[in-house]
Structures are given as structure tokens and as C-alpha cells.
Chain A
Amino acid sequence: DSGVTQTPKHLITATGQRVTLRCSPRSGDLSVYWYQQSLDQGLQFLIQYYNGEERAKGNILERFSAQQFPDLHSELNLSSLELGDSALYFCASSFRDRDTNEQFFGPGTRLTVL
């Protein structure tokens, strides 16, 4: 158990809908990362927050957004969903804001868009 929690575990929704994925980092960790994992794209970095502020953006679509709250939990919002958004979404956390520190991954949320 990494100490990172993600809810829900599974999410099934329809195209055009909006969903919110939630992540709680390990106790004491200030950085939260979001990743998307799919068979064709592999593991893709989406966005990073550190202590409430956005630190880095990766391959995140404009339809997607995220935030980190004062209690350090984070939410990833996916809107106008398309079939191609079906994937595993992982949250990871680390203590510092630099990628030179190991990241601890949550169990993931499996999103299925029908």
C-alpha cells in the first residue's frame, strides 16, 4: 500500500459527460501528479501540483483540468468525454516538487466511456 488513495476505482460513463477523479496523497507529501495510461499511448504525464499551485503541464487536453485543495487532495476533471478518453488514470505523490524524487502511485481509476 503506497498511502495514496484514489476514488472511484471504476467509472463508466457516456460520451459528452463530465467526471471528477479524486486523489489523496501520502501523508506529508506536497506534490501530486496525474497520469493517463492506455494501451496505445502508454503512461502519459498530465499535470503536477505542488502545495496547491500548478507546477507543470504535460499532455493534458483542454477538456481536462485539475486542482489541488488546501488539504492537499487533488481532483482531475474530465469533460466532454470521448471514447478515446477511456484509460487508467493514476495519481502519484512525492514530498518535493522536483521529479528527482521517487513518486508513490495510487491504485488508479479505470474510466470507461461508452
Chain B
Amino acid sequence: AQSVAQPEDQVNVAEGNPLTVKCTYSVSGNPYLFWYVQYPNRGLQFLLKYITGDNLVKGSYGFEAEFNKSQTSFHLKKPSALVSDSALYFCAVVSYYGNNRLAFGKGNQVVVIP
């Protein structure tokens, strides 16, 4: 079974500072990794995904994520946070092989302070 850990409940960052949201995963075989964002009173929105290839994946709204196989991590990053980035961020993983279910983390609340 696959699983995701998002260790921090809330990440506070000042506007303009770098933003990092951490995610570690556990999966059998090669992983597909995803980041989704949920703004207040909205559904989840797809940000980016890692399939294979370059470990640095670029996504929507200036976000990127770095896949690190040895550390089984897929941290989400943004060089300069905006107040509008305040939202709930979900990491998710599924194994490439088999008909496995996507496993979501519990989510991280990001608060960008003006």
C-alpha cells in the first residue's frame, strides 16, 4: 500500500520569502507523485506531477517540486510566496504498476503573511 506523510500541519511564511511544503512517500515500485492545492470553499486543483525523467518538475502558478528518490521525498517549492498562495496543499502518490489507488496526505495549511 502507498502512503504520504506531510509532517507539518501549518507552514507560515512571509510574503516574498521562499515557500517549501514537505512531503515524503512510501510506495512499492516507481511512484507517480502529485501536488494539489485547495483554496477556501473550492475543490482541489492539480498543480503538478512527477512521472519520470527530470527530478525538478515545474507546475502552475510558479510552483515546482523536487523528486528525491533516496530520501523518498517530493517537496513543493516556490521561490517567492504571494499572499494569494495561502491555501491547503495536498501531496499524493500512486504506484506506477498495478491498479492501485491514489493516496493523499492529510494536507498542509500554508499561510503567507503580508
Contact = CB atoms under 8 A, between A and B. Distances in A.
Interface of A: 2, 4, 42-43, 45, 56, 58, 90, 92, 98-100, 102-108
B107 A103 contact: no
A58 B101 contact: yes
Contact of A103 (B41, B96, B102): B102
B43 A90 contact: yes
Contact of A43 (B32, B41, B46, B90): B90
Contacts of A107: 41-43
Nearest to B44: A105
B25 interface: no
Given A105-B43, A105-B45, A99 B107 contact: no
Nearest to B102: A99
B34 interface: yes
Contacts of B51: 100
A3 to B, nearest CB: 11
Interface string B68-108: 00000000000000000000001000101001111010110
Nearest to A42: B106
B49 interface: yes
6 contacts: A43-B106, A45-B104, A92-B44, A99-B94, A100-B94, A108-B43
A66 to B, nearest CB: 16
A58 B42 CA distance: 23
Contacts of A104: 46
